[in-house]
Amino acid sequence: MNYRDVFGEVLADHHESPRNWGLAVDAEIRENGFNPLCGDKVTLGLKMRDGKLVSCTFEGEGCSICMASASIMTEMVQGQPLDRVSGLIEGFRAKMQGEDRPDVLPSEDSSEDIVALYGIKRFPVRIKCALLPWTTLKKGLETPHA
């Protein structure tokens, strides 16, 4: 099956040309995530300053959905205030798990790419793949840091 036909141009593009790939040398937090259902592995490199997530980079090995999701996520959260990042994580999780949470971000109009990612809901066994980078980011943000 052709990935492009099934998942669309946006996800195929992020998969083929991942954004923010390669852990930044000045990343202060490294967080690993693993999805045993699929074998997806992702490592995030994070740097926070003045209440903002100034840098979010990633590396990993996994299926195309997981890698595309990580790429889209890093673009959305980089440079954002931490409370907005938390809202984006919670909003994405709720959306993927079919909860009606209009109070949390991201709204449909916040990024065209995230809407493409929402399409993964049609493939329930892949939802964990799409969520892995986001749950890993959540863990990383909760890590105590100087």
92: Cβ contacts below 8 Å, ≥ 6 apart = 73, 106, 114, 117, 131, 134
Beta carbon of residue 33, minimum distance to Zn ion (angstroms, whole number)? 11
- 146 to each of 28, 29, 46, 47, how far by Cα in Å? 9, 10, 13, 11
Beta carbon of residue 73, minimum distance to Zn ion (angstroms, whole number)? 14
Q: Segment contacting Zn ion (CB under 5 A): 12-20, 75-83, 90-98, 126-134?
A: 126-134
Which residue, 7 or 55, has its beta carbon nearer to Zn ion?
A: 7
Number of residues that bind Zn ion (CB under 5 A): 5
Q: By CB under 5 A, tell whether 129 contacts Zn ion.
A: yes
Q: In what order do the strands lie in the sheet with 40-49?
A: 29-35, 40-49, 52-61
Structure tokens at 25: 């040398």
Q: Which positions from 12 through 71 interact with Zn ion, judged by CB under 5 A?
A: 38, 40, 63, 66
Residues that bind Zn ion (CB under 5 A): 38, 40, 63, 66, 129
